[in-house]
Amino acid sequence: MLVDESGQFLTQRELPEMALLQPSVGPDNLTVRHSRFPNQAVEIPLDITGLSPEKTSAKVWSNSVSALIMPSGINQWFSEVLRAPVRLVYMPDTSRRRADGRYAPAGQLVSFADGFPYLIIGAAALNELNRQLTEPVPMNRFRPNIVFTGGNSHDEDRWSDLHIGNQPFRCVKPCARCVMVTTDQATAQKSAEPLKTLSQYRRRGNKVLFGQNMIWTGTEPACMREGDILVPG
């Protein structure tokens, strides 16, 4: 996670150009490039035990989270390409941040994500939105980590427990969308859409909802794969 000099977490809300950071995971390193400087890259070791990082406290919304600061060379690279003083922090295994207890059962943890570890959206929901837009938008505007095909638009609104492959999940809260969805992930340019159109048919009270936040309810570590079957209930 990137933070400012006070340890406050940073997102595309504050720095839209973060959309242009392109990460890829290799056997030993996380490699990050900036799309405007494709020949430049920063290598971040996946195993940081040899780095002797400095301890700090990072802030994610109202949570204060124990974190480790990456070496100065890594922080300098991010600061230069984003043209802002930033630092990259790492959440060690000993750090614990609880998911929002108003929706998630006790003991559910989340890392540096906004609020929950998983966000699921159906392709049919995006198709419905794009039918109403003059210029369609891709799914990456909404940054889900699970996308499913089939069914009707916004089927996920009605789900509680579900399985993907043999992995159990629970939908705990509709995802309220903010201005971040107005940032083009390919250019970092902002516009009124698609939030303007979504607010016309997906507004509930003072929130615009699109997608479902989820938690994993399994007990044994396992994995999912592209093409796994999703079964509600």
Instruction: For the beta carbon of residue 98, count every other beta carbon within 10 angstroms.
Output: 12
Q: Give the confidence band of 49 by pLDDT, cuts at 50, 70, 90.
A: confident
Across the chain, mean pLDDT equals: 96
Res. 57 pLDDT band, cuts 50 70 90: very high
The pLDDT of residue 197 is: 98
pLDDT of 50 higher than 90: no
What pLDDT, in 10s, does the model give residues 85-113?
A: 999 999 999 999 999 999 999 989 999 99
- Predicted confidence at residue 233, as pLDDT, reads 84
User: Quick check: 72 pLDDT over 90?
Assistant: yes
Q: Note if the pTM is more than 0.75.
A: yes
| CB within 8 Å of 117: residues ≥ 6 apart | 99, 109, 110, 111, 214, 215, 216
Distances (CA, A) of 69 to 2, 94, 145, 229: 10, 15, 26, 39
Other CB atoms within 10 Å distance of the CB of residue 154:
19
pLDDT over 90 (residue 52): no
Phi, psi (deg, nearest 5) at residue 156: -60, -20
Burial 74-84 (b: 16+ CB within 10 A, else e): bbebbbebbeb
Res. 221 pLDDT band, cuts 50 70 90: confident
CB proximity list for 30: less than 8 A, separation 6 or greater: 23, 24, 43, 44, 45, 46
Q: Determine the average pLDDT of the residues in 129-137.
A: 98
